Amino acid sequence: MTISVGDKLPKTTLVKATENGPEAVDSAEYFAGRRVALFAVPGAFTPTCSAKHLPGFVEKGADLKAKGIDEIACTSVNDAFVLGAWSKSANGGDVTMLADGNGDFAEALGLTMDGSKFGMGKRSQRYSMIVNDGVVEQLNVEAPGEFKVSSADHLLGNL
């Protein structure tokens, strides 16, 4: 079952890429009491993710925060080291990288995809959402191969 607007996010463990190394993050605690713009990518360093998705959220970060967003976070089925390196190489700015190394978060959301034909295995679908105190306020899931509704511009336009 895919998560929907009005649903509470499932409780899982993500891993935050920090300057001091990986840090376990309880999803229920992380999203509690604040409004987070969360976007997911199929993989760090992949073409669309690196050229458009992450840069859009970095570029529009101040605009999102001016509209009441407390934090901007990115998740991917990659490990925290990969997400940390991707953030550094892409000038990820204030975007918090939340690794979903085993895909547990994507699976709990019902937003996985099969990237096996590209040698990627189980991954997260591309999406964006607004999470307000742990509850999905807005959800934008891309059609396979698309990059439209999960963009920072689209999310910003719907705030």
Of 48, 4, 61, 64, the closest CA to residue 76 belongs to: 48
Place of tokens 């001016």: 66
- Residues sharing a CB contact under 8 Å with residue 142, sequence separation 6 or more, in sequence order: 125, 126, 127, 148, 149, 150
Place of tokens 């307000």: 132
Of 127, 129, 158, the closest CA to residue 143 belongs to: 127
Of 102, 107, 108, 123, the closest CA to residue 45 belongs to: 123
137 vs 60: CA distance, rounded Å? 19
Catalytically active residues, by annotation: 49
Per the DSSP assignment, residues forming a β-bridge with 139 are 129
